[in-house]
Chains A and B, each alone.
Chain A
Amino acid sequence: MEDINTKRKNYIGKKIWAQRYLMILTLPAVLWMIIFNYVPMYGVIIAFKNYEPYIGFLKSPWVGLANFKELFADPTFISALFNTLKISILKLICGFPAPILFAILLNELAFKRAKKLIQTLSYLPYFVSWVFVVGFMYSMLDPRTGVLSVALQNLHIISKETLMMADSKYFLPIVIVSDIWKGLGWNSIIYLAAITGIDGQLYEAATVDGAGRFKRMWHITLPALKPTIVILLILSISGLMNSNFDQLFLMQNSMTQDAANVIGIYSYKMGIVLGRFSYGTTVGLFQSVVSMILLVLANYTSRKLTDESLF
């Protein structure tokens, strides 16, 4: 027996030795993942502790579900939860169909060079930072000098004194519109790719059968896009708990703070600004668990209804 074992060990040792160069390439990133992905995952247990950096991770006392109890009793958190859902659902309703429509219209465009140019220009907003976007929103919505604000005043949509960026009434519309502006072109890429994959003969056959342009869009293009739409919809639903942190964090100011109070920002303020690490982690954990449940539910529903699913 011993003999076989040592032989086996020798064999494994030899195999590792033979692969030593492959290991040199692979293992550093494995180590990186352990440190930067798995250690923080383990660190989530401070949600059940009262973590104080100077006491240390292991010695900080367990507090059970106390952090969660405090969380659900805090009206600021409840309003953050509702704000998050409100913003995310509005983004889903307005922002999700927009790139699909854009891709279909772009595909229908008869002028090939214009199509290429429009496509190229529409990706541009994706590459700039939210800092830049929020910066020009302040400029363009300035009541005296802002081009967009002046245009809206001339159309009598807003009054002369309206500071749109500092008015919680306009906060949501601005969030939605700027979100669509930034992602429209980029998010349409994946749909355009799916459209390109459609067999041209389908369109020919439909035309021979007398289908007009809208019928072709409805009966060929949209069904061909269905798998892509369903997968992205599942992902969007699982992302309902994350309203864009960058965008809202940068857009908030003293007048719009309450409207911009979403879970991500609440967690940041509690955990890092106030240094309540355990409490902030609790917020984040709640957010991830709900996201996970949403993902599983959306995936399950979609598999039952459409036969498409992520896993």
Chain B
Amino acid sequence: MEFIIKTKAEKVLDIINLIFLSIISFLCLYPFYNILVTSINDPTDAARGGITFWPRVFSLESYKMVFQNEDIINAFYVTVARTMIGTIIAVLFTAAFAYGVSKRELMGRKFIMSMTLVTMYFGGGLIPTYILIAKWLHLKNNFLAYIIPNMFNVFNAIIMMTFFSSIPREIEESAKIDGANDVTVFIKLIIPLSMPVLATIALFNGVFHWNSWFDAMLYGGSKLKTLQQILMQIINTNNNVSVLAGNLGFKAVSSESIKLATMVITTLPIIFAYPFLQKYFVKGIMIGSVKG
């Protein structure tokens, strides 16, 4: 709107607006920053408080303690494994379905579509799902409890379908004349062509897996704890002062620092992926909202 000639009052409004929005974005960022600087401060010194913008006594003591903790190391491997395996499987599984259903000639397409849409509005809820996974499928204490129940997602399938329907048919047809079947076309042609949308869905899935703790609490058991679950336990232990020296075996004074260091470690991958995340996520939510 460069054509609008601004009066002095309007320019003042612009400045006020800028200041207000800057404060908001500062508030969005500051908690992350504060936790980072406190975590690299000496634990005993940090307990005095007052660390705001810069560490007073620099120390990586808290990180050393975290990296010596076997529970946390194990949780790190579990979380990385579920994020990678879970994401790849979910993307391919959902994409295969979305591609199949994007073909108009598919038999029973209408039925499959309405069956899919029903699941957007209705569901069994927490407890029937728990019974299914824990009692009927016997997936408790099993790594697959993280993977299989999260293999498919209706909303992601719809975003993919929208994209697949926009791919010109001629591209597939020429491949089919050369004797390729639908599965080959999907793997060799459609997947490489759909990288932007697949990356979007992969990021949705990746963040979901990385941040999950509730299913780990329900199905995971002691060997399959995730990072967020460990972090949750550390936070809860810190709150109950009486059990400060609690089940993770830390010294009381440093438990707050352990918490902060673990928070930084669990969040760093998200911060590093963030530039990609926000670009793709925003696109993803747009595709979804245009259709939905």
Task: List the B side residues contacting A30 at CB < 8 Å.
Answer: 97, 112, 115
- Please give me the residue from chain A that is nearest to B39 by CB atom: A139
Task: Report whether over half of chain A's contact residues are helix, strand or loop; otherwise say mixed.
Answer: helix
Number of A positions contacting B (CB below 8 A): 91
The reply to whether the CB of A145 lies closer than 8 angstroms to some CB of chain B is: yes
Q: Which of A29, A268, A277 is the most central at the interface, judged by chain B CB atoms within 10 Å of its CB?
A: A29
A120, A135, A150, A166: the one contacting B49 at CB < 8 Å is A150
| A124, B116: Cβ atoms closer than 8 Å | no
A110 touches B135 (CB 8 A): no
- Taking CB atoms, residues of chain A closer than 8 Å to B25 are 117-118, 121-122
Which of the listed residues B22, B47, B49, B106 has the most CB atoms from chain A within 10 Å of its own CB? B49
> Does residue B132 face the partner (Cβ distance < 8 Å to A)?
yes
The verdict on B48 contacting chain A, using a C-beta distance below 8 Å, is yes
B128 contact set on A, CB distance < 8 A = 39-41, 43-44, 46, 281, 284
Q: Are B13 and A213 in contact (CB under 8 A)?
A: yes
- In the complex the two chains form, is B182's CB within 8 Å of A22's CB? yes
Residues of A with C-beta under 8 A to B129: 36, 40
A139 to B105: give the CA distance in the assembly, Å: 58
Whole-angstrom CA separation of A106 from B128 in the bound complex: 44
Q: A32 with B151: in contact, given A193-B289, A271-B127 (CB under 8 Å)?
A: yes
Count A/B pairs, Cβ under 8 Å. Answer: 248
Residues of A within 8 A of B267 (CB): 128, 132
Q: A29-B94, A181-B28 are in contact. Are A280 and B126 (CB under 8 A)?
A: yes
Task: List B contacts of A102 (CB < 8 A).
Answer: 21, 24
- Given A28-B97, A122-B28, output 5 extra A-B contacts at Cβ < 8 Å: A15-B107, A43-B132, A122-B24, A132-B266, A139-B35
Chain A contacts to B: CB under 8 angstroms: 15-16, 19, 21-26, 28-30, 32-33, 35-37, 39-44, 46, 51, 53, 102, 105-106, 108-111, 114, 117-118, 120-125, 127-129, 131-132, 134-136, 138-140, 142, 144-147, 150, 165-166, 181, 184-185, 189-190, 193, 200, 203-204, 207, 213, 245-246, 249-250, 253-254, 264, 267-268, 271-272, 277, 280-281, 284-285, 287-288, 292
Q: Report B's interface with A, CB cutoff 8 A.
A: 1, 3-4, 10, 13-14, 17-18, 20-22, 24-25, 27-29, 31-32, 34-35, 38, 46-52, 93-94, 96-97, 99-101, 103, 105-107, 112, 115-116, 119, 121-132, 135-136, 149, 151-152, 157, 181-183, 186, 207, 210-214, 218, 228, 231-232, 235-236, 238-240, 256, 259-260, 263, 266-267, 270-271, 274, 277-278, 281-282, 285-286, 289
